[in-house]
Chains A and B, each alone.
Chain A
Amino acid sequence: MARKIVSTGRGGAGKSTFVALVSKYLKPPTLLVDLDPDLSLADMIGFDFRREGKKTLCEALYDVIEKRKSNISPTITTHELMESLLWSDCLYEGKKMDLISLGTKFTEGCLCAPDELLRKAIPKLAKNYANMLVDSPAGVEHLNRNIASDIDDLFVLCDPSDKSLKHIARIKEIIKQVGISYGHFYLVANHECTEEAEGYLQNTGETYLGKIDYDARLEQYNLEGKSLLELPEGSAASLSVRGILTKAGYQIGS
């Protein structure tokens, strides 16, 4: 069973950046799961779903629903069909890691259906990987939905604001009430945090692992849409993430 690692936090705290950088250091095979309907993790690691002929979960699901409308006597349920499509159409197999993306939905209604599919599939998917790394949408709703419930390491990305501190308390309460289990609860500061802000994080009573240093090159890559997997090994942000993972007890090869 894969180690389940989840990155969460307020909007813009740096969840996806953290996931992209962490992915380089994990022992393969690694599966990345992008729960954000704004679909940015794929862009950040240079995965092009269209080019590979792959679909996001939302695309596959709503294609199936459309097809069923014209099929008079379907012999298989949407859910059963989706279970197989998840592997054949939605699993993007990269060289060093695989990716499943929730994707954007263009019909009315919430994302409960695709989220639920993914929630059920995650334990099965996890069996095939050494590490499963989940990138969350901003905010708290994914926690209420209990999509990844059995977490090993939960990383909370923090920006320098009082709102971050309130956010930490809030998600701890949701996690407790909803019944999500985790092995470790880690705080990580983003590059905007000053020493003073880091002080606040150190005093929350949670395990604070350090901050991701400012990295001009990373900003440039994000602006140009270049893959963060191509960031040089010595870049400031990469080195910070490496240090953070080492503190969390991860074995990192050279």
Chain B
Amino acid sequence: MSTGRGGAGKSTFVALASRYLHPPKLLIDLDPDESLAGMLGIDLKGKGVKTISGALYDVIEENKGAGRTGYNLLSEVPQAVLYRGTGLDFIALGTKFTVGCYCAPDAVLKDFIPTLVKDYDEVLVDSPAGLEHFNRKVVVDIDDLFVVLDPSEKSIKHIERVKNITRELKVGYSHLYLIGNYRFTGETEEYLRSAGEAYLGKIDYDPNVKRYNLEGRSLLELPEDSPAALSVERILVKAGYMITDGSLTGESRQKTARS
């Protein structure tokens, strides 16, 4: 799972990490602002796939007057929401256009996740900015929690908050890893090295990432020598991942961590 403050680079990290993970893999976008699909070149509408929020409120709408409400409808939601790509499936919480919070769509997703994850080797979750997703315990049993950070004192405080909130709420994880975004300098990286957590390195500046994001192009099409993609590869290797070569064909190859 990738988490962090707004704008730190959570979705960029997830999109790039997805290149290196072994299929079959599933990406989950917990952010109602749903930007991950666009970053991966996934067109849900074009494929007739709904978001969780979209499907949920469609089901509720269709059943108004049918005397069925609330939770007993939720089991009907998951069928229309899984996007199946080549080696990479995708599911998004999605925006809702009615008054109220995202507790209901989050609850649907939470119930769905344990069944869903059985079909995959790797499940990669992109969080909305901030902490509320932890309070909701949408995903509880995390192997690797990557906290993506920007260079500010707020980031350092954010790390503490993540640790407190996961402890208080018993959101379990095996590893907590820190990742710096491209705005870190050699000097500011020191703050992360001395934060007392496993710091895996920073994502290097990559003008192509900016350009692709501005034009709405898929980050999966970034060239293989893209500095940002290579940084993510390095970070995953440090975290002990067996990775693929990052090309779209996904040939396996083993790398050893450089210390």
Q: Could you list which residues of chain A lie within 8 angstroms of chain B, going by C-beta atoms?
A: 10-13, 15, 36-40, 43-44, 104-112, 115, 137-141, 144-146, 159-163, 166-167, 170, 173-174, 177-179, 192, 196-197, 200, 219, 222-225
Contact = CB atoms under 8 A, between A and B. Distances in A.
6 contacts: A37-B131, A43-B157, A141-B128, A144-B102, A167-B33, A174-B95
Interface string B118-155: 00000000001111100111000000000000111110
Interface string B71-109: 000000000000000000000000111111111001000
Given A12-B129, A163-B33, A222-B152, 16 more contacts: A11-B8, A13-B6, A40-B157, A104-B161, A107-B168, A110-B136, A138-B128, A139-B130, A141-B132, A160-B213, A162-B38, A162-B215, A166-B38, A173-B97, A174-B97, A179-B99
Interface in B144-175: 150-154, 157-158, 161, 164-165, 168-169
Given A110-B136, A112-B101, A224 B95 contact: no
A222 B129 contact: no
Nearest to B165: A106
Contacts of A170: 33-34, 95
- What's the dominant secondary structure at chain A's contact region? loop
Contacts of B98: 144, 177-178
A178 to B, nearest CB: 5
B240 interface: no
A110 B33 CA distance: 17
Nearest to B11: A163
Given A13-B7, A138-B6, A38 B214 contact: no
B151 A107 contact: no
A-B residue pairs, 7 tightest by C-beta: A12-B7, A11-B6, A162-B216, A138-B6, A138-B129, A11-B129, A225-B153
B230 to A, nearest CB: 21
Given A106-B165, A138-B128, A12 B8 contact: yes
Contacts of B32: 139-141, 144
Contacts of B215: 162
A200 B100 contact: no
Contacts of A225: 153-154
Nearest to B103: A110
A105 B131 CA distance: 9
B14 to A, nearest CB: 13
Contact of B103 (A104, A105, A112, A197): A112
B35 interface: yes
B5 interface: yes
B214 A223 contact: no
A118 to B, nearest CB: 13
Given A38-B161, A161-B213, A111 B135 contact: yes
B169 A108 contact: yes
B245 interface: no
A109 B214 contact: no
B204 interface: no
A224 B187 CA distance: 13
Contact of A146 (B99, B165, B210): B99
Interface in B180-223: 188, 191, 210, 213-216
